[in-house]
Structure 1
Amino acid sequence: MEDNKVFAALSYLGPLLIVPLLMSRDSDYIRFHARRGLVLFFAEVLLSFLFWNPLFMMLLGLAFIVISLYGFVQAVLGHHWKPKVLSDIADRIRL
């Protein structure tokens, strides 16, 4: 289970998301966090392209750092973190 927590936590570290996606076949816990990390990563990329205002991008970046760190900690602690908007989208993804 400890390895699962490490791989699940990587889901919230942007491009390192690829590692848990490759490992998710073995664990429902990794798959759970990989889906949320994937939605968070794509939301960050999409919103970065849509909004070019430097102040907004700085605030958006800070918000995503906070959300990612919270998800990372929840994964390490072994919790199933279910933020409302992320979970609604993430639960539709099949890995």
Structure 2
Amino acid sequence: MVEAILRSTLGARTTIMAALSYLSVLCFVPLLVDRDDEFVYFHAKQGLVIWIWGVLALFALHVPVLGKWIFGFSSMGVLVFSLLGLVSVVFQRAWKLPVVSWVADRI
């Protein structure tokens, strides 16, 4: 994982808002509230990509035979990337998660 260098105050509010980014639909809170803070906005965009991935995984359940497998692997991926994002916030780092950051940069 590559680490981005971002400007931020890194106070308690910033850490909480960045952590909300990786908690499912709560990714919209920092995305809408703290657009000025680069650290929070970076994590909010990655959290949004992970959330979209989770929503798309639900649609995989409608695919016969392989749907449950696709959903299971996707759910595991969403969980792992969300935990990695939360660890990144706790350590006050901006880790670029593989594939997720590539998509987030294009948003």
Give the shorter-chain TM-score range: 0.7 to 0.9
Which structure carries more helix by proportion? 1
Deviations 1:14-45 (A, max 9, x none): 11112111222231100000010111111221
Structure 1 residue 37 corresponds to structure 2 residue 37: no
Unaligned runs of 5+ in 2: 1-9, 62-66
Deviation at 1:57? 1.8
Deviation at 1:81? 1.2
Normalising by structure 2, report the TM-score.
Answer: 0.75
Normalising by structure 1, report the TM-score.
Answer: 0.84
Structure 1 residue 87 corresponds to structure 2 residue 97: no
Question: Which residue identity is paired with 1:74?
Answer: S
Q: Is the contact made by 1:6 and 1:76 (CA closer than 8 Å) also made in structure 2? A: no
Structure 1 residue 25 corresponds to structure 2 residue 35: yes
Deviation at 1:55? 3.7
Question: Which residue identity is paired with 1:41?
Answer: W
What is the CA RMSD across the aligned residues, in angstroms? 1.5
Count of residues in Structure 1 that have an aligned counterpart in Structure 2: 92
* Bigger radius of gyration: 2
User: Who is 2:3 aligned against?
Assistant: none
Give percent identity, aligned residues only: 39
Unaligned runs of 5+ in 1: none
Deviation at 1:86? 1.1
Question: Which residue identity is paired with 2:90?
Answer: V
Deviation at 1:91? 1.1
Question: Which residue identity is paired with 1:67?
Answer: F
Q: Is the contact made by 2:53 and 2:78 (CA closer than 8 Å) also made in structure 1? A: no
Matches within 5 A, 1:46-57: 46-49=56-59, 51-52=60-61, 53-57=67-71
* SS of equivalent residue, structure 2 residue 35: helix
